[in-house]
A and B are shown apart, each in its own frame.
Chain A
Amino acid sequence: MSQAFRVPGHGRVDPARTVSFTFDGRRFQGQAGDTLASALLANGHHLMGRSFKYHRPRGAVSAGSDEPNALVAVGSGPALQTPNLRATQVELYEGLTAVSQNRFPSLKFDLGAVNTLAAPLLPAGFYYKTFMWPRSFWDRVYEPVIRRAAGLGVAPTAPDPDHYAFQYAHCDVLVAGAGPAGLAAALAAGRAGARVILAEETAEAGGSLLSDRTSRIDGRPAALWVADILAELAGLPNVRVLTRCTAFNYGPHNMVALNQRLSDHLADPAPDMPRERLWQVRAQEVVLAAGALERPLVFEGNDRPGVMLASAARTYLNRYGVACGRRAVIVTADDSAYRVALDLHAAGVTVAAIADLRPAPDSALVRAAQEAGLTVLPGTTVQRAHGGTRVHGVELARLLPDGSVGKGRHWRADLVLMSGGYTPSVHLFSQSRGKLVFDAELGVYVPGEPAERTRSAGACRGVYALACVLADGAAAGVAAAGAAGFAADAPAWTVDAADEPGRGGYAGALPRRGKGLLAMAFVDFQNDVTAKDVKLAVREGFQSIEHIKRYTTTGMATDQGKMSNVNALGIAADALGRPVEKVGLTTFRPPFTPVTFGAFASHARGDLFDPDRRTPIDPWARAQGAVFEDVGLWRRARYFPRGSEDMEAAVRRECLAVRGGVGIFDASTLGKIEVVGPDAATFMNRMYVNAWTKLGVGRCRYGLMCRENGFVYDDGVVGRIAQDRFHVTTTTGGAPGVLALMEDYLQTEWPELDVWLTSTTEEWAVIALQGPSARAVLAPLVDGLDISAEALPHMSLAEGTIGGVPMRLFRVSFTGELGFEINVPARHGRAVWQAIWDAGQGVGITPYGTETMHVLRAEKGYIIVGQETDGTATPDDAGCGWAVSKAKADFVGKRSLALPAMQAPDRKQLVGLLTEAAWEVLEEGAQLVARPDEAIPMRVLGHVTSSYFSATLGRSIALAMVSGGRARVGETLYVPMEGRTIAVTVTKPVFYDVEGARLNV
């Protein structure tokens, strides 16, 4: 029969809307408003997964995000399946498909369950003890086997087709948790006019009130009071209520991260709907109203499906209209379980017995249970639960006055409920660096002195009675609003018929008859940690709770001790013979619950992963079929293949075209900084190794910049536009760093200098025209400007126009040929490029890319910072010692260059390398040694930094940094490669036009 455990008249699910879903391939029905867990339980289906280590059959133990057992994968297909979701949080929708995890071949019959039989072989610290040696076994044997056997769920294999939203938010008061305390706080602050964000983890605000059929607030049933409050909040424009939204990280300075699930609960979400939204909320004040979690009891078989938290059974009954069984036995150390018993009893569930660990429980609730005719067994404990894939009975036994356990009696039950009392949810408070203090009366840790502007309210600080919770929440809301500058009045409500739970609770493993350890009494269900494991860890010498946590893995991973923490502490304290508060507490780490990677990535994927920077000339290059490469964030044309050319062929052709005629190159990505002010030359003198004072207006100079440690940082041509104005160029990738370094010195060390820096990288499109025919192509275009060798010699600049467009024209060369760099305002770059292109058709003008640029400069021995240099090369090492001014008293890096180590003769220096075979192109990064038969470990003398085939020279060339390299010119060195060794001759690093005749034409 379908949904045989549904209780009519109970719950907030919609009885009129039946929803079909499949679990492990089997079809089920539930109702709209169900979670996957509640719907399965409505069908009497408790078995929802297998445990992590022992593959024990497991069912839902809770009804919320603290669920350790019922982990499922939802969705289907290689991309759409999401693993490790809690069935207790998965909202049902038509057609939902879910499968259980950690089972093979099926959930009911699982081969991994033999691990249970092998449990004595899998004690605490098992991995540490077993897989230590031999070391060589780790990668190939141990790790793959462990990974297959263990692990939570299976990651999807295809890219995530969903998209995820991201939002910063700012508010006066952030309230985490919309139970009674959170609602009261949000209302108090909202009424005062504060900007409030109220974040609720579940689908519906109300918290415990949604499971409460007895309490009345201002005479209204609790759930209706919730609706009233929500209606008022909805009418306040300054209040935002976010459901399905978990506060999972409390960062410094009141920045709290929320994860809002937008579409997972929908059968048919709108096509553009983001799946989740990550919020980063900066709050003036925070109210934590995270509630409390009920603790399980630690006894043999406490993990059998059908053994649950008492509060969970109440939630399933009252919120979802589901009876979790027909015949219940309740074991408790706390009054609240009596309310559960009464609710179940009223709903027709047989409550066979209530075993109370306390010798003489006495409260209104206890008496109510007795008056209802329920069997209350004071001073009684549970010895074990019986069953396999479902519990079918328990053994209860008297706790004798001497502390021992009496003879047991079997009780038949298909539902065993446990209540070890409540643990305040202090995770977020702890993440915020707030100090936790042990409350001896409650036996738990509660928030103490906060470190942030935050306050806790209600059950998360150990306040449990409903009237007190509402007052506490309201007071927290008033205080938070007040601290944020909003005067507020505390709303007040009268509460009646609410239970007044007495203080109770239990921490640790339950007493057992006889001696021996508890083999299968679980402390941490998710990590399969037993009471025995914790005791063993102590016996083996672990004293610190942090060490015990790591050794046993209790409270690790996604659970973060929600359910296990206090019991583990209790057992450890018992074994250590110390009071709980002396044992300490492990750190609660974010996230509170797992967050998808997609939410963290949000928009940063695909085309929007990074800015994709393109030059004004990029569309032309694309139209020409250029092949591009990424340089930093820029996209640059690498080469322009013709027909079926590969890169090698294209680059050879492009190189020959530049050397033989003229090539055109897009240099727009070069960094540019305008240095302006009366002290501009002084500043340049200090920043660069070169001397600038005597550089005339209209002249250019190669500039080399070091960091203070004396190592080359950047380079580029600098032109003097005016006495007080320099046009500085940097490498493409170095532009932001150079500007930042300049600002650093200017603002920190030399604030007295009247000079200012402006990035002009994107102001100018830069067209490099290089080759012997360059002048002939350009001269007719520059509106009468004289660009003859006499008027515009190598390393000079002129301002003018080109086709009426303003231009800064640099006569510079990074190819060794006659060259110009035409700077025009970016919007005109494409048109000016086209005009030059058209003008060059008669002489075979050829576009070339970065690859050809690299080859041409290597033929000339020009370095590329970051390729020849690696952050440990001085100007002299890089062959640029000539650029360093000897006359200047100081510049950035000068003092460091005077250190003895910076002048050692064995420093790596720039050299050229020639292979014996002209066709042989060395690998960049290859190492250089002195002898062909060098023994391992070889003494490495240097490495190849650049290596190309030079079409101009008809042979390969390479640049290298070699220890004492300049003194080795003429020597033969060796490049050991896989299977062979290549002999190379060390040369000077200039291979072509050594005297520079081609430049000065």
Chain B
Amino acid sequence: MQLSHSEFALAPAAERRRFVLQARPATLDVAARALGLGDTFAMLAAAAAGAVTALRLGPQEVLLLLDPAGADDGLSALRAGLAGVAHSLVEVSDRQVGLDLSGALVEAALASLTSIDVAVAAFPVGMATRTLLGKADGVLWRTAPDRFRLEVWRSFAPYLSGLLDEAARDAVF
């Protein structure tokens, strides 16, 4: 059975450079200002400006997704802002891949994998969190009511794609 695109679609996300920024919360606030993303990164939320999107995944952890076109400027601003302040910035561009999930069945498919409530009331657009999907970790970010970005470690992508595809097909019944 083939699902229509409006039911469920899974596609590689647009190319991004990725960095894990870790620091004490006050330092992360400094980073937010340096990147022009406000005074703080709100917990479990995405913030975007220019080429930079930041997902606050933990009190001391932010995942930065950068459009390659403007990545260097963003990184320069960040490094300048954090100069002399204790932090860790590690490139993970190749550690993980992005998958765009969309369609009317996307919530049902995800609900087969994660124990968190993905209904829009509980997981609104702009929310982002790491969670357990089946037997693999992934970062789930809702980009639209019927659209999620899933960031997973590279070697887990085939497993999660297979699981999501099967779950979406089951969700028809």
Determine if A610 and B135 form an interchain contact, defined as CB atoms under 8 angstroms apart. Answer: yes
Q: Is the CB of B153 within 8 A of A165?
A: no
Contact of A763 among B94, B117, B159 (CB under 8 A): B94
**A611 interfacial contact with B, CB 8 Å:** yes
| Cα A496 to Cα B94 with chains together (Å) | 71
- Asked if B87 lies at the interface with its beta carbon under 8 angstroms from chain A, I say yes
State whether B94 touches A826 (Cβ < 8 A): yes
Question: Please, which residues of chain A bring their CB within 8 A of the CB of B72?
Answer: none
Known interface pairs A277-B170, A756-B88; A167-B22 also in contact (CB < 8 Å): no
Q: Which of these binds chain A: B4-12, B48-56, B106-114?
A: B106-114
Contact B20 A608 (CB under 8 A): no
Residues of chain B within 8 A (CB-CB) of A679 are 86
Contact digits for A666-708, partner B, Cβ 8 Å, 1 yes 0 no: 0000000010111100000000000000000000000000000
List B73-94 residues whose CB lies under 8 Å from chain A. Answer: 86-94
CB of A271 within 8 A of CB of B1, answer yes
Q: Which residue of B lies closest to A754 (CB)?
A: B86
Most chain A beta carbons < 10 A, residue from B86, B169, B170: B170
Is A486 in the interface zone, CB < 8 Å from B? no
Closest Cβ neighbor of A764 among chain B residues = B94
Q: Mark each residue of chain A from 273 to 286: 1 if its CB lies under 8 Å from any CB of chain B, else 0.
A: 11001001010000
Nearest chain-A residue to B90 (Cβ)?
Answer: A758
A904 at the interface (CB under 8 A from B): no
Residues of chain A contacted by B169 (CB below 8 angstroms): 272
What CA separation (Å) do A282 and B136 show in the bound complex?
21
Once the chains are docked, how many angstroms separate the CA of A167 from the CA of B168? Answer: 11
Q: How far is the CB of A602 from chain B (nearest CB, A)?
A: 8
**CB distance B170 to A608 under 8 Å?**
no
A608 with B166: in contact, given A273-B173, A762-B154 (CB under 8 Å)? yes
Are B87 and A677 interface neighbours, CB within 8 A? yes
Partner of B155, one of A273, A613, A756: A613
On whether the beta carbons of B173 and A165 are closer than 8 Å, the reply is yes
Whole-angstrom CA separation of A228 from B134 in the bound complex: 40
Which of B87, B114, B153, B160 is in CB contact (< 8 Å) with A762? Answer: B153
Q: Are A167 and B112 neighbours in the complex by a CB distance under 8 Å?
A: yes
A762 touches B115 (CB 8 A): no
Instruction: Name the interface residues of B23-52: CB closer than 8 Å to any CB of A.
Output: 23-24
Query: Are A170 and B167 neighbours in the complex by a CB distance under 8 Å?
Result: no
Whether A763 and B91, one on each chain, are in contact in the complex, defined by CB atoms closer than 8 angstroms, is: yes
Q: How far is the CB of A328 from chain B (nearest CB, A)?
A: 42
Contact of B87 with A758 in the complex, beta carbons under 8 Å: no
State whether the Cβ of B60 lies closer than 8 Å to any Cβ in chain A: yes
A166 at interface by CB-CB < 8 Å: yes
What is the CA–CA distance of A271 and B172 in the complex, to the nearest angstrom? 12
B155 touches A615 (CB 8 A): yes
Instruction: Out of B87, B93, B159, name the residue touching A612 (CB < 8 Å).
Output: B159
- B163, A603: Cβ atoms under 8 Å? yes
Given A168-B114, A280-B115, A756-B88: A762 touches B94 (CB 8 Å cut-off): yes
Contacts of B134 in A (CB 8 A): 603-604, 608, 611
Q: List the B side residues contacting A165 at CB < 8 Å.
A: 112, 167, 170-171, 173
- B159→A608 contact, CB < 8 A: yes
Among candidates A604, A614, A760, residue contacting B92 with C-beta atoms closer than 8 Å: A760
Q: Smallest CB-CB separation from A612: which chain B residue?
A: B159
Compute how far the CA of A450 lies from the CA of B135 in the bound complex, rounded to whole angstroms. 34
Please indicate the chain B residues that have their CB under 8 angstroms from the CB of A761 in the complex.
Answer: 95, 153
Measured between beta carbons, the chain A residues less than 8 angstroms from B167 are: 165-166, 603
- Which single residue of chain A is at the shortest CB-CB distance from B86? A754
Cα A604 to Cα B169 in complex, Å, equals 16
Q: Which residues of A contact B (CB under 8 A)?
A: 163, 165-170, 195, 262, 270-274, 277, 280, 282, 603-604, 607-608, 610-616, 634, 674, 676-679, 754-756, 758-764, 825-828
Closest 5 CB pairs of A and B: A676-B88, A756-B88, A756-B22, A613-B155, A754-B86
Besides A274-B173, A611-B156, A758-B20, 9 other A-B contacts (C-beta < 8 A) = A167-B108, A271-B1, A603-B167, A608-B134, A612-B158, A612-B159, A676-B90, A758-B90, A758-B92
Q: List 12 A-B contacts (CB under 8 A).
A: A280-B115, A282-B115, A604-B135, A608-B163, A611-B156, A674-B90, A677-B86, A677-B87, A677-B88, A758-B20, A758-B92, A764-B94
